[in-house]
Amino acid sequence: MLSLIAKRLAFAIPSLIGVVIVTFLLTRALPGDPAAYFAGPAATKEAVEQIRKKLGFDKPLVEQFFRYTVDLAHGDLGSSLTTGQPVATEIRNRLPASAELTLLGLLVSVAIALPLGVLAATRPGSWIDHTCRVVTTAGVSLPVFFTGLVLVYVFYFRLGWSPAPLGRLDVFYSAPDNVTGFYLIDTLIARDGEAFRSALSQLILPAATLAIFSLAPIARMTRASMLSVLSSEFVRTARASGLSPSTVTVTYAFRNAMLPVITTLSMVFSFLLGANVLVEKVFAWPGIGSYAVEALIASDFAPVQGFVLTMAIMYVVLNLVIDILYGVIDPRVRLEG
Amino acid sequence: MKRRDFLKSVSGLAAGAALPMAPAVISSAKADARSETLLIVSEGGPNNLDIHGIGTNVPGYEVSWNCYDRLISHEMKSGPGGVPYYDRDKFKPELAEDMTISDMSATFKLRKNAKFHDGTPVTAKDVKWSLDRAVSVGGFPTFQMSAGSLTKPEQFVIVDDYTIRVDFLKKDRLTIPDLAVIVPCIVNSELVKKNATDKDPWGLEYTKQQTAGSGAYRVTKWTAGTEVIMERNDDWVCGPLPKIKRIIWRMVPQAGNRRALLERGDADISYELPFKDFQEMKGNGKLNVVSLPFSNGIQYIGMNVTKPPFDNPKVRQAMAYAMPYQKIMDAVLFGLANPMFGAPADKATEVAWPQPTKYSTDMEKAKALLAEAGYANGFETTISFDLNFAQVNEPLCILVQESLAQLGIKTTINKVPGANWRTELNKKEMPLYTNVFSGWLDYPEYFFYWCYHGNNSVFNTMSYKSPVMDKLIDGARDAAATGDKAKYEADVKGFVDLAFAEVPRIPLYQPFVNVAMQKNISGYQYWFHRRLDYRALVKG
């Protein structure tokens, strides 16, 4: 097991180096000129040059890259010009916000999609199968920002059930001491019940938005995978041996159908983490996606590089976890590994 | 532990944890806090708390304005619609309790009881250090200081602990007004020096993250891109103590949500909403919506006069007759702007800026002028705009494109990302574009100096050069400094007339700044910087 992990991590190193080089070059190839942007509306040419010098953008590309990698080796991702903060701190503060939202959204989505997919597969053509089809089609065809805005309109503006879409906490609560960065957990650790309620109620709408969007791939994949497993020979054997339908479905079929579902889950998770920028915008969520996009608009190099690098590392870790999970679910994979 | 037992204990735990939270009452202390707190929502937030910093953005100016004091500030007068509007010509003391202006210098006596947020008294050495800093750090602050002929540290002289003298380099009417803009703010020099480094002698890194001033508010928490929290400085002596104790300023990127927050009564103030929203909110009367014209600001269509076809004044005049002015006013701005076109033909030129041109949409005249210039069949060109302001710029450019098509002019629309816009303007290569210019200092010659003068500043985006124009602008500046009223008026009228005859840029309208607030909020004041002054606001 350990050697497997070590081997996988060793494989990841070249791709991370590649990511560092490519993001560096790509950000430099962006059309904007950060010096002109940050020199302000009233800047003269000299002022722009002064700022360019201060930011180090007047140096040759190779030297800039060398400095960047040296800083990187010290764990310094540089500073953002738009927010004025060190990128590493910002990512550390914002990643939990995105992760908490994404995980909760995914949890809700899995809780609905898995049973829905399994039921649809065991009763193909029935009303539940049709429901599954309608729900997944609707979920995948509604753009996230649209779902988000509709939910805000209905539950906040019209009905007033949901709190104002103002980020992670009601403005009059102070954030709990940072332990995990997940407000739901931190408020519990701080034994602050009101803040916990506030954090939870702020989470419901954005998490539901994400869940609706990510429902489709998971439910469809569960259904397809279950269908193929249910028609395989070992299931027929199990049925012929007189095992109860629930044992057949849950113990034998479902476990074997899990592998592709886990793969889809990992894809959906990493996709959501990066792509929930729209949800973050709608709900004023201080997450990592909106951070990266704002930086991109201002051609603010450091946060973009930091974001891509963080994402790359997360992908590597996630893939590793998935590979290990494969082994847990299906011993054959472990042997081959 | 068996799985079932585990589940039981977990659900027990969850129930236990849920109990204390069951009553959803908000404590009364929180309700009090709400009535003394102002919740502002806007699209963007500051990137730096110090206006002297590198690349401080416009929201950062708002923090500086409220958290730092200046030597002097402006009085208020009654503006359009009875809204308090800063008085360009009347100054009031802020940190200074007295100002004496002599021929070539101004002397300021400081308040003896003014203190910085950390309790150290404000003295002349802080003032000198701060003004030195403003003229030395480079970039925008230094540029703004130079607009008032404030360029050298030697100009700021400490007379005694509580007296400072500002020497003039030359006579310039803009020197005193320039001391009342946001940039010459007074910084706690001892505190900042303690936190400065060899690489950063002015301590910009320190003041980027925290306010070190003597102003009416101080920043207690700042999460970049999310929120700024400011608390009132109860020891503030430079004016009446503000009514609002606490400011919470949240960034809400979605304009629709900002409107929803206002209409539900959760947020107190917002700006940066689409014009359509402002117009609708004005109509339904649930909120107070204030719309005031930008002082000294114009949205215009610029043309590059160095290249054909726009090097020909006839073509430029044809363009000015071809603009769909009224359509832009109605469909893009929903009426929330002052028209800068269509003045009656017999109207005399005023000594004022901005003022409307005599152009209005007249396709026949435009066609005739184009034919005279030898472009009877039109030409091809590109119109560019800044995507950061796409909400206005995009529909505006489409209307212009449509209108020009009637003259046979084929226009391609070029959308320039915000980050790139200034670079493109600086290159001065775009043939046709729309842009806004607005000056902090509200004087016609200031506007013309930046936008029409042959020294070709960044804002003379048309590369327009005319010796006659330069003479008139310089003449007006000198006349203003020496107080020669007759010559000043003649020169101002002269350059306005010339700008309208040669039309290197076509004025479209004077934009409005729109602010929506709850009915129980009063005391909004319009400032040249167009940001909020919390000190005057009252809730309830």
| A–B interface: beta-carbon pairs under 8 A | 155
In sequence order, the 6+-apart residues with CB closer than 8 A to the CB of B162 are: B109, B110, B112, B123, B124
User: Which bin fits B138, alpha (ψ -120 to 50), beta or left (φ > 0)?
Assistant: left
Residue ranges in chain A assigned as alpha helix (H): 2-29, 34-38, 45-55, 61-73, 87-122, 127-141, 144-151, 183-189, 193-230, 233-240, 245-247, 255-275, 277-282, 288-297, 301-329, 331-336
Residue B140 to residues B146, B147, B184, Cα–Cα distance (Å): 10, 11, 12
Asked whether residue B3 carries a pLDDT value surpassing 60, the answer given is no
B427-445 CB burial, b ≥16 within 10 A, e <16: ebebbbbbbbbbbbbbbbb
Given pLDDT bands bounded at 50, 70 and 90, which one contains residue B62? very high
What mean pLDDT is predicted for residues B44-65? 86
E strand or H helix at B247, and its extent? strand B246-251
Q: How far apart, in whole angstroms, are the C-alpha atoms of residue B83 and residue B76?
A: 10
User: From the CA of A192, how many Å to the nearest CA of chain B?
Assistant: 9
Q: How far apart, in whole angstroms, are the C-alpha atoms of residue A313 and residue A91?
A: 13
> Which range is most confident: A249-263, B275-289, B311-325?
B311-325
pLDDT at B6: 42
The string of pLDDT tens digits covering residues B37-54 is 999 998 888 888 999 987
Angle between helices A45-55 and B139-146 (to 10 degrees): 160
In contact, A163 and A156? CB cutoff 8 Å: yes
Measured between beta carbons, which residues in chain B are less than 8 angstroms from residue A165? 252, 254, 257, 260-261
Q: Given CB atoms, is B252 within the 8 Å cutoff of chain A?
A: yes
In contact, A198 and A172? CB cutoff 8 Å: no
pLDDT at A180: 82
Residue B416 to residues A251, B173, B387, B421, Cα–Cα distance (Å): 59, 37, 6, 6
Which ipTM score applies to this complex? 0.75
Given pLDDT bands bounded at 50, 70 and 90, which one contains residue B22? very low
pLDDT at B382: 94
Give the count of beta carbons closer than 10 Å to the beta carbon of residue B472.
25
If you write DSSP's letter for every residue of B397-444 in order, what string do you get? HHHHHHHHHTTT-EEEEEEE-HHHHHHHHHHT--SEEEEEEE-SS--H
Name residue, tokens 């309700």.
B31
Asked whether residue B31 carries a pLDDT value surpassing 70, the answer given is no
Q: Given CB atoms, is A14 within the 8 Å cutoff of chain B?
A: no
pLDDT at B21: 38
End-to-end CA distance of chain A: 9
Q: What are the phi and psi torsion angles at A77 (to 5°)?
A: -95, 10
Nearest CB partner across the interface for A44, out of B17, B223, B458: B458
Is the Cβ pair B422, A37 closer than 8 Å?
A: yes
Is the Cβ pair A40, B252 closer than 8 Å?
A: no
- Give chain A's residues under pLDDT 50: 337
E strand or H helix at B109, and its extent? strand B105-110
Provide the 8-state DSSP code for B329.
I
**Tokens, residue B510:** 């004077």
What value does the CA radius of gyration of chain A take, rounded to a whole number of Å?
A: 24
Q: What are the phi and psi torsion angles at A203 (to 5°)?
A: -80, -25
Measured between beta carbons, which residues in chain A are less than 8 angstroms from residue B36? none
pLDDT at B16: 39
Q: Which residue type does A142 have?
A: L
**Tokens, residue A74:** 């010290």
pLDDT at B28: 55
Pairing of strands B96-101, B105-110: antiparallel
In contact, B231 and B246? CB cutoff 8 Å: yes
Asked whether residue B19 carries a pLDDT value surpassing 70, the answer given is no
pLDDT at B199: 81
Asked whether residue B271 carries a pLDDT value surpassing 90, the answer given is no
pLDDT at B11: 41
Q: How far apart, in whole angstroms, are the C-alpha atoms of residue B392 and residue B332?
A: 6
Residue B85, helix vs strand vs coil: strand
pLDDT at B510: 93
For chain B, the average pLDDT equals 87
What value does the CA radius of gyration of chain B take, rounded to a whole number of Å?
A: 26
E strand or H helix at A32, and its extent? none
pLDDT at A39: 66
| Interface test with chain A among B21, B202, B259, B451, by most A beta carbons within 10 Å | B21
pLDDT at A40: 61
pLDDT at B30: 59
B135-161 CB burial, b ≥16 within 10 A, e <16: bbbbbbbbbbbebbbbeeeebbeeeee
User: From the CA of B52, how many Å to the nearest CA of chain A?
Assistant: 11
Q: How far apart, in whole angstroms, are the C-alpha atoms of residue A263 and residue B254?
A: 34
